[in-house]
Structure 1
C-alpha cells in the first residue's frame, strides 16, 4: 500500500464545466447505522450541457419500504448547491472544506414495497420525507489517480423524518465528489465502501467495458489512520431477479470482503438519446476473511445492451 497526495480545499466547490454533453459534476453522500438496520444516500449531479440536475435521496431499512426521491429534471442552481423544484428542497453546505458537510432536505417521496419498482413507473405511496444530517471526515481524503474525483470516509449524525416518524442517526458513511464526463450507458462499474467493526475503512472501484477492465482503484484506511492506496482491486457478483445482486465480493490486495446486499435503492437512468441503464445501489453487510464484519454501500452500474 502507498500514501496518497493531498486534495486542495478549493476542490470542494463547483468546477467550470467542459464542453462534452455528458460532462457532469456530482456529490454523493451515504450513511449506515452500525448494525445495518437503516441506511440512506443522497446524490446531486449537475449536467450543465443538458440543462438539468439530478437529485436522489432515500431511506432503506429492515422491515420498512424503500422511501425514495428520484428527480432528473431539477433546475441547476445558479450558485452554490441548493436546489428547489415542486415537492423538493435540498441544501448541501460545506461547513469546513474536507472536514464537515451538512445536508438538509424537505420533500415528498415515494414508498415502494419492491425496490425493483423504481425500474417501472415509480408509483407508490406519497410520503413526506426529509433530513438534517452532518458528514464529518473520519481519517483522511483519498484522491483517485489521474481522475478528478476523491473519496472521504465519514461519521454521520442527525435526523431523518418519514411521515410522522423522526429517526436519530449516528453511524458511518462515505462521501465523494467528481467532475468530468460520466457515461452511464456505455461502461459497467462497481463501487463499494465499508466501515468494519475494528475501525478499518475501505473503498474500491472497478470500471469495465464489456469484459475488459479499464480502471480500478481503492484504499484501506487502518483504525485511527488515513487512506492508503491499494495496488490491486478485483470484484465479482452473482445476479438475482431484475439484475439485483444476491451476493458479491471485492479484493483489495490481500483483504477479501464478502458482500451481502441487505436493502436496495435502485435508479433507472435514461440518457439523452433514450438509452437506459439500471443502477442498483444497496446497503450491505461485509465480512472479511479473518472474521471482521462491517456495513456500507455498494453500487453496480448495468447499461442495457444496444438493440
Structure 2
C-alpha cells in the first residue's frame, strides 16, 4: 500500500454511497492534543446505514480526570456526519471543519475500569460538556480513495481511507469551566466494510512536535501474515513520506503501552520517535466483541493514553497512540511478538 500516491478529491469529504454489506461503515475521526492546555482527546462519528445504526464517541484526557461516552442510535442521516449530539460540519472540503457537541460525558479518575464498561458507566459521575472546535488542514489529505481494491490499509477495515494533519482551536467547557484549546493532531475519514477483529493488531501514532511539525506512524499486522507500514511527516504545511521497520512497545503487566518507540527514515535523515505515557499514566481500554461464524467470541481492545514524545534530534511534543489488539487469555496478542517487550 502507498498512502501518498492517490488523489483525495473534495467529494470524498462527504458521505459515500454504501454497498449492500451489513458491515459497511463510514466514519470520521479527529484527534488533538495541546501541551499548554494539558488536553488530549478524540471525537468520532460512525454510520452503518445497512443495519441501520450510528455511533458517536468522545474521549477527553483532562488534568485529573478522563471523560468518555459512546452513544448508539438507529437514526442514521443519509447525508450528515452527525450522531448522538456530536456534529461535524464541513466548512471547506479538505481544508476546514467544525466540531460541536453539547451534552454529558462520564467521568473516570482511572479509566482502566472501562475494561468492564457496563459497570463502569453505572458508577461514573456525569459532567456537562460543550465542545466547539475549529479544525484546519496542515498539509494535503493523503490515503486511498477506494478506486483500487489492492491499495488498502487493511481489507477488513475499510475500502477508502484518508488522513490529514490538522491544527485545532476553540473551547471545551466542563461543568462551566472553560478550557481554551490551541493544538494539533490528525483526522481520518474511512468507508467500506469494517471488522474490528480483522487485523491481529495495529499501532497508530500521532505526534505533534514543538517546532510545528508532526509525524504519523501506522503499523498493521494482518491475519495473512503480511504487515502494512505507513508513515508521514508534515513540516510547514509540506507533506512527505517516511519509512520504518518496526514499532516496539513496552507493556504494563495488564497490557497497556507504557512506552512506544519507532525508528524512522525521513527526508531529513534517520529519526527515532519515543512516546512515553504522560504521568500519571492514564490508560483507557475500549473494546469490541463479536461472535465468529464458528461460535468463537472475538474480543478486540483498543488502548489509549495521552503521550509525551521525544525525538532523537531533541524535539518534544504531545499526542496519542492508538493500540489495537485481539485479546488472548485476557492480554493483547501483540505482547507475544518479538518486537514488543514487558
Q: TM-score, normalised by structure 1?
A: 0.89
Map 1:105-124; keep pairs closer than 5 Å: 105-120=101-116, 121=118, 122-123=120-121, 124=124
| Alpha-carbon offset, residue 275 of structure 1 | 3.1
Paired position in structure 2 for 1:139:
139
Q: Distance in 1 between matches of 2:137 and 2:298?
A: 37
Matched, 1:298 2:321: yes
More off after superposition, 244-253 vs 92-101: 244-253
Q: Distance in 2 between matches of 1:74 and 1:31?
A: 28
Q: Give SS of 1:118's match.
A: helix
| Alpha-carbon offset, residue 232 of structure 1 | 3.5
Structure 2: runs of 5+ lacking an equivalent = 146-150, 153-159, 331-342
Paired position in structure 2 for 1:270:
289
Q: Distance in 2 between matches of 1:73 and 1:236?
A: 38
Q: Give SS of 1:227's match.
A: strand
Task: Note if contact 1:206-1:213 (Cα within 8 Å) is conserved in structure 2.
Answer: no
Paired position in structure 2 for 1:261:
277
Matched, 1:94 2:86: no
Task: Note if contact 1:38-1:60 (Cα within 8 Å) is conserved in structure 2.
Answer: yes
Paired position in structure 2 for 1:200:
213
Matched, 1:69 2:69: yes
The Cα offsets for residues 15-67 of structure 1, whole Å up to 9 and x where unpaired, read as 112333322211111111134721211011212233212211122123x1111
More off after superposition, 275-284 vs 209-218: 209-218
Q: Distance in 1 between matches of 2:50 and 2:251?
A: 34
Paired position in structure 2 for 1:42:
43
Task: Note if contact 2:52-2:74 (Cα within 8 Å) is conserved in structure 1.
Answer: no
More off after superposition, 130-139 vs 27-36: 27-36
Pair 1:2–1:119, CA change in 2 (3 A) = closer
| Alpha-carbon offset, residue 115 of structure 1 | 1.1
Among 161, 182, 185, the alignment partner of 1:149 is: 161
Map 1:76-87; keep pairs closer than 5 Å: 76-84=76-84
More off after superposition, 68-77 vs 239-248: 68-77
| Alpha-carbon offset, residue 215 of structure 1 | 1.3
Paired position in structure 2 for 1:130:
130
Task: Note if contact 1:36-1:284 (Cα within 8 Å) is conserved in structure 2.
Answer: no
Matched, 1:11 2:12: yes
Structure 1: runs of 5+ lacking an equivalent = none
Q: Give SS of 1:242's match.
A: coil
Task: Note if contact 2:138-2:234 (Cα within 8 Å) is conserved in structure 1.
Answer: no
The Cα offsets for residues 258-293 of structure 1, whole Å up to 9 and x where unpaired, read as 111224343122336653211112221111111111
Q: Give SS of 1:230's match.
A: strand
Task: Note if contact 2:27-2:44 (Cα within 8 Å) is conserved in structure 1.
Answer: yes
Paired position in structure 2 for 1:249:
261
Q: TM-score, normalised by structure 2?
A: 0.81
| Alpha-carbon offset, residue 219 of structure 1 | 0.7
Task: Note if contact 2:45-2:82 (Cα within 8 Å) is conserved in structure 1.
Answer: no
Pair 1:247–1:227, CA change in 2 (3 A) = same
The Cα offsets for residues 104-151 of structure 1, whole Å up to 9 and x where unpaired, read as 101211101111111212321122122011111122222259232111
Q: Distance in 1 between matches of 2:74 and 2:329?
A: 28
